[in-house]
Amino acid sequence: MLIEMRNIRKVYEQGDSTCEALAGIDLKISQGESVAIMGPSGSGKSTLLNIMGCIDRATEGEYYFDGKEVNDYSDGERAKLRNEYLGFVLQDFALIERYTVKENVILPLKYSKKIKKEAREARIDEVLKLVGIEEKKEQSVLKLSGGQRQRVAIARALVNEAEVLLCDEPTGALDKATGREIVNVFEELNKKGKTIVIVTHDPDVAAECDRVIKIVDGRVE
C-alpha cells in the first residue's frame, strides 16, 4: 500500500474556537491507482490533500507513506519526501511568475541529488515534451495561458520522478476544453504507472478515475 491513513483528524484552532476539518479519515491508496476526492465545499478535501502531501500535519491519527509513518517525520525529512516522491498540481498553478518555464520546472531538482547536474537539461526537455510544451521552455510563465501554466506545474511535479501526483482542483481555473486536455495528461501519466489523487468538484473529471472517495464533514462517506 502506497498511502494509508488511519483515523486522521485535523483540528484548526483559531483563538477560542476550534474547527474540526477532518474528523477521522481512514483510507488506502495503492500504487498506480487514480483516485478522485469529491465532496461539498468546506468538507475538508484540501486539508486531506495537504496532509497527504506532507504540507500540513494531522492533529491525530496515523499516516503511512510507502509503509513508513510520516506524520512524525522532521521538517527536513518531510521536505525530502515532497521533493522526491510527491508532485503538486494546484488550482492556481503555484508557479513563480517572475521565472521562466525552465526556471520553474528545475526547482525540485535544485533541492535534490537524484538527478545529476549534467542530466538536468535533458530531464527538463523530457518532461516538457511529455506535457506538450517543449517549445515554451525559455518563456516567462506570465506569457502562458492557464492550460499551459498547468502543464508547467505538471512538468515540475514530474521532473524529480515523483511517485504520486496530488492535484487540488487542477481544472478549477480552466475552461471545460482546457480542463479536459489536462485530465488527458493525467490519464496518460496514470497509464505510465503514476499514482494520481485529484480533488475535484467536476463529476466528469472524477469519472475518469479508478475510484472516487467522497468526503462529507471531514469523514469518508
Residue from 96, 142, 207, 216 in contact with other proteins (CB under 8 A): 96
Inter-CA distances, 86 with 39, 157, 161, Å:
23, 7, 9
Provide the 10 A C-beta neighbour count for residue 103. Answer: 17
Q: Which does 85 bind (CB under 5 to 8 A by kind): Mg ion, other proteins, ligand ATP, none?
A: none
Binding segment for ligand ATP (CB under 6 A), chosen from 43-51, 143-151, 154-162, 189-197, is 43-51
* CB 62 within 8 Å of CB 71: yes
Beta strand residue intervals within the chain, DSSP E:
3-14, 17-29, 34-38, 60-65, 68-69, 86-90, 164-168, 195-199, 211-216, 219-220
Contact segment (CB under 6 A) with ligand ATP among 45-53, 63-71, 77-85, 93-101 equals 45-53
Which one among 46, 71, 104, 200 touches Mg ion, defined by CB under 5 A? 46
Residue 107 sits in the site that holds other proteins (CB under 8 A): yes
Part of the chain binding ligand ATP (CB under 6 A), chosen from 12-20, 23-31, 109-117, 141-149: 12-20
